[in-house]
């Protein structure tokens, strides 16, 4: 029996597992210290009341014979109409029209970003931004694909654009970006869409943070760009939009018009999911189905506003310290330069040991992340303010 | 961009999606008929009251800042200790000792049965029983692996045993079997375990129906056989045990002692899951965590008993009609021979059109399923009795 030897080429463990492990080890060794985590992109605000009520009703349904639900409906890979319709409505308000069979309910963008690769031959070249969410690289290393990197640096505002000499088959875009917070305009995305269509490539567009976009000229969905339906798959999540990191729900859009090698990627994904997946919990789907209602959007807007205020606090703190950063405006992440030219893991260690604050070292996201550091705005106000006080004190001490 | 061309070798669509589509088409064409489904293995009894209460508390937790939960704990791939401990306790009662890091909480056996294949090279020979749950074949066709079949027939009681001349790297066993209901004794499993260890193979053991086992000499877990921890991965599910088909929860056991090619499969699986999965809903895990409590087991035993009575009703009906069948005693499935030597899809069509009853044609599970038919015991008493009346009437009419 031959194992998949590509696994041997992976770094020891997944970035956030390492950050988590080092944090746990420190806490175990120093139980008296209050460690503040601005590291993993985990939310802290509770679910919106309308979501809680919908889930409570769904739990009651499951306890009664007359309203009990088993497997989700076959027709749309186990997605309930009420949820799919709410997602279509949300897209319509962004100027995008979808049909129900293009909307695939997932247990989160991370699962689908990994599993979509089942549809593609290992013999493809993948273009991945550097720095970016490490899952894109790791999942392709596991499959043995060739990886090229699109450099994101201060020079290009962390927004790489297509390069004519670079031939890629599968292109990852994450906008607003994790970890840098940089977000593409619709104009910039048009260049990527045109490039992908000219080169028979597929764009995997990670829109996990689109709800944080404030500026009108920035894209909320790649389908706001004409031609995207012929080349792009969009991955969305309720994790950051509605605080569903512990609930697990998202949606992946695979347009009818997206065909490669004569095959419909929509039909391939439906086949993959009906064979290797059994849908998302009824209770979860009912909770998700009210997120984009008027009341739902009002309630989640309060939570998003709460996180935005954290980002502003972190931004002020770095302004006062004279530390360069980007992000925080259309994104819940602040991407800062490590002080005194420190390497990012060295800064991680110092921040953890001296300030008892956890962030994520930029080099974990790619070579262009070296010398940078990610802080998240998902904590509580109190923790965020306290973390900023400690960071200031630490850096002022020198 | 090259698609995964192995998808072109798949049958048009997943078996149960086809059964569902034909059923929906018939119902749309005959809205006045009451169609009874004994087809897809979907449960009808509501969740146990103790599970409902646990989930309600968990939903409330998610609505309050102080008790809100984000991502699951890093340590055991997002599994909560309380759930993992309850699973370890359940195994202990079967004489099997597990450590927490061997227990991987899943969103159901189907997902993990598909995704486990990421750990293995495409260059392996897979041995799959025929007939069996179509997911095993389809997921390996998608990956382009060589497939051999282990014939399950009336002659061997639908329990194939290892053949010395047959060299396989990955062996699927499903016991109690879907669709035949046949279940291996511990002695018979020992032969498979010894074969796998001698041949450096891995057994993928699908225990989705183990809760239906009544006879003491039959296995509840492959780990009741010595040496299995060195060769087998066990896939379990709350779907049939606790009615979680619409809730989505299971657990996959990857033993520490299971090493192939010098690699620890447990560590590989942990890496795969931390990279391509983000865990199971907190609400779901809390519901699952009370299933194996004393009260939980009492309540699910009532539901299992309810389904067993349905199986007995179907068995009686077939006895009276003089139709050969197996299963139903240690399994929720009855595997019957199609009357008058009919082909299974022809019998499916006749049953749907004349009796308005839906079952699953045996040929959908493999070539040895031709001429056989699967009926499930998961319906209501009323529907099951009515279905049997209609089947009798139809066959008596000739």
Interval B272-293: pLDDT, tens: 999 999 999 999 999 999 999 9
Distance from CA of B93 to the nearest CA of A (A): 28
pLDDT digits (tens), chain A, 398 positions: 999 999 999 986 778 888 988 999 999 999 999 999 998 878 999 999 999 999 999 999 999 999 999 999 988 999 999 999 999 999 999 999 999 999 999 999 999 999 999 999 999 999 999 999 999 999 999 999 999 999 999 999 999 999 989 999 999 999 999 999 999 999 999 999 999 999 999 999 999 999 999 999 999 999 999 999 999 999 999 999 999 999 999 999 999 999 999 999 999 999 999 999 999 999 999 999 999 999 999 999 999 999 999 999 999 999 999 999 999 999 999 999 999 999 999 999 999 999 999 999 999 999 999 999 999 999 999 999 999 999 999 999 87
Q: Could you give the domains of chain B?
A: 5-46+295-397 (3.90.1150.10), 49-292 (3.40.640.10)
CA-based nearest residue to B378, from B290, B313, B295:
B313
Q: Provide the chain B residues 271-290 that lie in CB contact (below 8 A) with chain A.
A: 271-272, 274-284
Q: Measure the CA–CA gap between A234 and A113, rounded to whole angstroms.
A: 9
| Residues B226 and B258: beta-carbon distance below 8 Å | no
CA angle B247, B273, A113 (to 5 degrees): 85
Please give the backbone phi and psi of residue B105, each rounded to the nearest 5 degrees, phi first: -75, 130
Please name every residue paired with B374 in a beta bridge, in sequence order, or none if there are none. B335, B360
Q: A222: buried, middle or exposed (CB in 10 Å: 19+, 13-18, 0-12)?
A: buried
| Residues B276 and A140: beta-carbon distance below 8 Å | no
Distance from CA of B24 to the nearest CA of A (A): 10
| Residues A128 and A203: beta-carbon distance below 8 Å | no
Predicted TM-score of the model (pTM): 0.96
User: Does B115 touch chain A if contact means CB atoms closer than 8 Å?
Assistant: yes
Longest dimension (CA), chain B: 67
- Residues composing chain B: 398
Question: Got the DSSP string for A244-284?
Answer: -TTT--EEEE--TT-EETTEEHHHHHHHHHHHH-----HHH
Please answer yes or no on whether A275 and B135 come within 8 Å at the CB atom. Answer: yes
Interval B88-145: pLDDT, tens: 999 999 999 999 999 999 999 999 999 999 999 999 999 999 999 999 999 999 999 9
Please answer yes or no on whether A44 and B65 come within 8 Å at the CB atom. Answer: yes
Residue with tokens 């850096």: A395
Distance from CA of A216 to the nearest CA of B (A): 30
Please answer yes or no on whether B5 and A107 come within 8 Å at the CB atom. Answer: no
Alpha helices in chain B (DSSP H): 15-29, 49-62, 81-92, 109-115, 135-143, 186-198, 238-242, 265-276, 282-288, 294-321, 344-355, 381-397
Distance from CA of A185 to the nearest CA of B (A): 26
Please answer yes or no on whether B64 and A56 come within 8 Å at the CB atom. Answer: no
| Residues A104 and A131: beta-carbon distance below 8 Å | no
Q: Measure the CA–CA gap between B82 and B101, rounded to whole angstroms.
A: 13
User: Does B397 touch chain A if contact means CB atoms closer than 8 Å?
Assistant: no
Q: Measure the CA–CA gap between A156 and B173, rounded to whole angstroms.
A: 54
For residue A180, what are the contacts with CB-CB under 8 A and spacing of at least 6? A131, A152, A158, A326, A327, A331, A333, A335
Q: Measure the CA–CA gap between A272 and B141, rounded to whole angstroms.
A: 11
B10 chain-A contacts, CB cut-off 8 A: 271
Instruction: Name the 3-class secondary structure at B185.
Output: strand
User: Does B5 touch chain A if contact means CB atoms closer than 8 Å?
Assistant: yes
pLDDT of A272: 96
Distance from CA of B177 to the nearest CA of A (A): 18
A47 chain-B contacts, CB cut-off 8 A: 62-63, 68
Q: Which of B45, B70, B201 sits opposite A43 (nearest CB)?
A: B70
How many beta-carbon contacts under 8 Å exist across A and B? 257
User: Does B240 touch chain A if contact means CB atoms closer than 8 Å?
Assistant: no
pLDDT above 90 (res B305): yes
ipTM: 0.96
A276 chain-B contacts, CB cut-off 8 A: 110-111, 114-115, 135, 139
| Residues B156 and B177: beta-carbon distance below 8 Å | no
Distance from CA of B201 to the nearest CA of A (A): 5
Could you tell me how far CA B7 lies from the centroid of its own chain?
Answer: 23
B284 chain-A contacts, CB cut-off 8 A: 281, 283-284
């Amino acid at each position: 029996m031959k194992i998949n030897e590509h696994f041997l080429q992976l770094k020891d463990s997944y970035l956030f597992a390492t950050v988590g492990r080092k944090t746990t080890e420190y806490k175990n060794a120093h139980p008296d210290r209050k460690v503040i985590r601005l590291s993993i992109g985990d939310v802290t605000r509770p679910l919106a009341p309308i979501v809680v009520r919908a889930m409570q009703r769904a739990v009651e349904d499951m306890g009664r014979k007359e309203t009990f639900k088993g497997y989700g409906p076959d027709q749309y890979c186990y997605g309930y109409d009420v949820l799919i319709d709410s997602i279509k409505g949300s897209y319509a308000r962004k100027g995008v029209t979808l049909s129900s069979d293009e909307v695939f309910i997932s247990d989160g963008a991370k699962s689908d970003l990994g599993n979509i690769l089942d549809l593609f031959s290992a013999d493809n070249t993948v273009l991945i931004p550097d720095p970016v969410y490490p899952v894109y690289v790791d999942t392709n290393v596991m499959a043995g694909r060739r990886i090229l990197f699109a450099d994101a640096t201060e020079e290009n505002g962390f927004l790489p654009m297509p390069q004519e000499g670079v031939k890629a088959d599968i292109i990852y875009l994450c906008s607003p970006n994790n970890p840098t917070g940089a977000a593409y305009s619709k104009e910039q995305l048009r260049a990527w869409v045109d490039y992908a269509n000219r080169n028979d490539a597929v764009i995997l567009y990670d829109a996990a943070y689109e709800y944080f976009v404030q500026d009108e000229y920035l894209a909320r969905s790649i389908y706001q760009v004409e031609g995207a339906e012929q080349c792009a798959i969009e991955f969305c999540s309720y994790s950051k939009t509605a605080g569903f990191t512990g609930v697990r729900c998202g949606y992946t859009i695979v347009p009818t018009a997206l065909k490669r090698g004569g095959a419909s990627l929509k039909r391939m994904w439906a086949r993959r999911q009906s064979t290797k997946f059994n849908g998302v919990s009824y209770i979860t789907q009912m909770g998700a189905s009210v997120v984009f209602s008027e009341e739902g959007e009002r309630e989640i807007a309060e939570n998003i506003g709460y996180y935005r205020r954290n980002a502003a606090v972190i931004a002020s703190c770095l302004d006062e310290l004279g530390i360069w950063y980007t992000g925080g405006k259309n994104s819940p992440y602040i991407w800062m330069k490590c002080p005194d030219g420190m390497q990012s893991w060295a800064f991680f260690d110092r921040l953890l040991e001296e300030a008892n604050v956890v962030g994520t070292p930029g080099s974990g996201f790619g070579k262009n992340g070296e010398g940078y550091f990610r802080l998240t705005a998902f904590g509580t106000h109190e923790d965020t303010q306290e973390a900023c006080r400690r960071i200031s004190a630490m850096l002022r001490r020198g």
